[in-house]
């Protein structure tokens, strides 16, 4: 059957848009899910390719900001966590130096307070000790800022006398500080050992001088009891550091034919070329002396000590031959000859421990014309060299040799300054607080 045909002359029917929700082409109903899932033909006013790039840039900025914030937080954590680890524990030398400095400051304040305005010999001595102890505190400073106190700490002025109960206590503390410093010098590093030994030697003499002026006291250090009188720093060093080898014990393995520290041309039993200066007064005055330069190592320092002892003994013998002093002085000079020869022999016993030959004293030492003109005036200058000689040996040696050197430094300091007008704050050290680099 043929489909009906529309006549060309039939009227055109009007067309109307399909109702909302109905697809005009397919005649299907458009649901909300279809509308939502269908892609938008006009998602925005900007270009379609610009929006993904903007989102990537924003994410990159946030990532950079997050990384920067994390780095800042991490750096704060590292600084806080490593603040304690960056400060290592103080060494024995640093602790000993700080303790010695604190003790010197406290003792200086006590001495000044005890002296007060008194004019008696004990008060005068205590004022000198207070000044010397303040100098020691400045020398013992290791922070670059030597703090010196010109005014005494404590209460009002008091006159120090033998009846003052604080005077024996101060002298006892002074003697104990000397002993502690001499003991610590055996274990400390070279520079600190020199300072501690010199400070302890001076404090030991101050305690003895103060005790003699204050009078005998059963509980105090009157009468000069100190480290040297209780067995010497050698005993202190043994207690502090363990076994101390004696002279000649545990000799090192020395290379065959090699003598460390010896100069070319030196032979066993002969005097090294530089050692003649140890007993050679020179200069313009009769009492002037040419002291040996600082030794570069333990071997040279020990040889300097040997030559200083034997050279001074030889100088006394020359003085005895040329001068006729009073009998008491002559006896004293003879005693000094024997003492210096004995100490020289003690020093020689330590030479094999440094791979040096144990030589005998030489027949003679060079003496300058100034000394020969007035030997009696030149002898004190020779004695004055020994604190520096043994201070060098303390710094450059170790073990039993250092222990012996500490004892010798304390002994020569006592011999030189027990009856002197003043006691240097650091016997054997040329430095004074104003000369130090941090002042």
* Full pLDDT tens readout for the chain, 439 residues: 555 555 555 555 555 555 555 555 555 555 555 544 555 555 555 555 556 677 777 777 888 888 888 777 777 665 554 555 556 888 999 999 999 999 999 999 999 999 988 889 999 999 999 999 999 999 998 543 333 333 333 333 444 443 454 889 999 999 999 999 999 999 999 999 999 999 999 999 999 999 999 886 544 444 444 444 433 444 444 444 333 334 444 456 676 555 544 443 343 333 433 333 334 333 333 333 343 444 578 999 999 999 999 999 999 999 999 998 899 999 999 999 999 999 999 999 999 999 888 877 777 888 888 999 999 999 999 999 999 999 999 999 999 999 999 999 999 999 999 999 999 999 999 866 665 544 4
pTM of the predicted model as reported, rounded to 2 decimal places: 0.67
Would you say 403 and 186 are in contact if contact means Cβ atoms under 8 Å apart?
yes
**Same structural domain for residues 102 and 237?**
yes
Contact 135, 433 (CB under 8 A): yes
CA–CA gap between residue 319 and residue 332 (Å, rounded): 12
Distance CA 30, CA 19 (A): 10
422, 431, 435, 413: which is closest to 197 by C-alpha? 413
Residue 111: inside a domain: yes
Helix (H), strand (E) at residue 50: helix 50-82
**Residue 34 is assigned to a structural domain of this protein:** no
Residue 304 is predicted with a pLDDT of: 94
User: Would you say residue 123 lies in a domain?
Assistant: yes
Q: Where are the alpha helices (DSSP H) in 271-374?
A: 298-322, 327-348, 369-373
Domain contains 58: no
Copy the structure tokens of residue 406: 């500490």
Residue 71 placed within a domain = no
Residue 101 lies in a domain: yes
For 216-236, give one letter per residue: b (16+ CB within 10 A) or e.
ebeebbbebbbbbeeebbbbb
**Whether residue 164 is found in the same domain as residue 297:** no
- Judgement on whether residues 273 and 366 belong to the same structural domain of the protein: yes
Are 188 and 306 in the same domain? no
338 assigned to some structural domain: yes
For the chain, how are helix, strand and coil distributed in percent, rounded to 5? 55, 0, 45
Query: What local confidence, expressed as pLDDT, does residue 269 receive?
Result: 37
Query: 365 and 237 in one domain?
Result: no
Query: Domain check: are 404 and 376 in the same one?
Result: no
Same domain assignment for residues 231 and 112: yes
Both 217 and 122 in a single domain?
A: yes
pLDDT for the residue numbered 356: 86
Q: What are phi and psi of 257, to 5 degrees?
A: 75, 0
Q: What are phi and psi of 14, to 5 degrees?
A: -70, 145
Q: What is the DSSP letter of 351?
A: G
The number of folded domains in the chain is 2
Cα 166 from Cα 154, distance rounded (Å) = 13
240 shares its domain with 266: no
Out of 384, 408, 425, a domain closes at: 384
Q: Do 364 and 314 contact (CB within 8 A), yes or no?
A: yes
Domain that holds residue 285: 248-384
CB 185 within 8 A of CB 394: yes
In a domain? residue 44: no
Torsion sign (Cα): 277, 280, 281, 282: negative
pLDDT for the residue numbered 360: 76
Best CA proximity match to 354, nearest among 409, 386, 401, 293:
401
Please check whether residues 170 and 292 belong to one and the same domain.
no
pLDDT value of residue 45? 53
- Which phi and psi angles does 22 have, rounded to 5°? -120, 130
210, 115 in Cβ contact below 8 A? no
Domain match, 413 and 350 both: no
SS3 244: coil
According to DSSP, residue 191 is labeled: H
Strand partners, 29: 22
Residue spans of alpha helices (H) in 83-189: 92-115, 121-139, 166-187
CA distance 127 to 115: 6
What pLDDT does residue 357 have? 86
Tell me the HSE value of 256 on the side-chain side, using a 13 A CA sphere: 0
Indicate if 170 and 99 belong to the same structural domain: yes
* Side-chain half-sphere CA neighbours of 126 within 13 A: 31
């Amino acid at each position: 059957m043929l489909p009906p045909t529309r006549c060309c002359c039939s009227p055109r029917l009007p067309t109307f848009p399909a109702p909302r929700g109905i697809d005009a082409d397919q005649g299907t109903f458009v649901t909300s899910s279809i509308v939502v899932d269908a892609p938008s033909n006009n998602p925005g006013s900007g270009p379609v390719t610009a929006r993904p790039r903007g989102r990537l840039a924003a994410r990159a900025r946030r990532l950079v900001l997050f990384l920067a914030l994390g780095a800042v937080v991490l750096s704060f954590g590292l600084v806080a966590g490593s603040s304690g680890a960056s400060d290592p524990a103080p060494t024995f030398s640093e602790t000993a130096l700080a303790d010695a400095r604190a003790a010197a400051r406290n003792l200086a304040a006590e001495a000044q307070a005890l002296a007060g305005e008194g004019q008696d010999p004990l008060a005068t001595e205590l004022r000198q000790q207070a000044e010397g102890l303040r100098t020691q505190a400045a020398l013992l400073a290791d922070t670059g800022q030597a703090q010196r106190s010109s005014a005494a700490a404590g209460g009002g002025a008091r006159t120090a006398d033998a009846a003052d109960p604080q005077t024996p206590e101060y002298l006892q503390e002074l003697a104990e500080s000397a002993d502690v410093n001499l003991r610590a010098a055996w274990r400390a590093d070279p520079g600190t050992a020199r300072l501690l030994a010199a400070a302890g030697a001076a404090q030991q003499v101050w305690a003895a001088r103060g005790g003699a002026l204050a009078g005998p006291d059963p509980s105090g250090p009157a009468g000069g009891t100190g480290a040297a009188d209780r067995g010497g720093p050698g005993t202190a060093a043994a207690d502090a550091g363990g076994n101390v080898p004696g002279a000649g014990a545990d000799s090192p393995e020395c290379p065959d034919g090699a003598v460390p520290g010896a100069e070319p041309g030196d032979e066993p039993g002969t005097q090294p070329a530089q050692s003649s200066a140890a007993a050679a007064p020179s200069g313009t005055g009769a009492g002037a002396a040419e002291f040996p330069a600082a030794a570069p190592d333990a071997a040279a320092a020990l040889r300097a000590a040997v030559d200083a002892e034997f050279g001074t003994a030889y100088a006394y013998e020359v003085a005895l031959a040329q001068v006729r002093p009073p009998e008491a002085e002559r006896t004293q000079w003879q005693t000094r000859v024997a003492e210096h020869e004995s100490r020289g022999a003690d020093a020689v016993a330590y030479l094999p421990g440094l791979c040096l030959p144990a030589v005998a004293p030489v027949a003679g030492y060079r003496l300058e014309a100034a000394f020969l003109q007035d030997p009696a005036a030149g002898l004190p200058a020779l004695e004055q060299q020994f604190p520096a000689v043994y201070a060098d040996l303390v710094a450059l040696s170790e073990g039993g040799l250092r222990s012996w050197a500490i004892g010798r430094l304390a002994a020569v300091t006592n011999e030189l300054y027990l009856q002197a007008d003043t006691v240097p704050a650091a016997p054997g050290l040329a430095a004074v607080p104003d000369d130090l680099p941090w002042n």
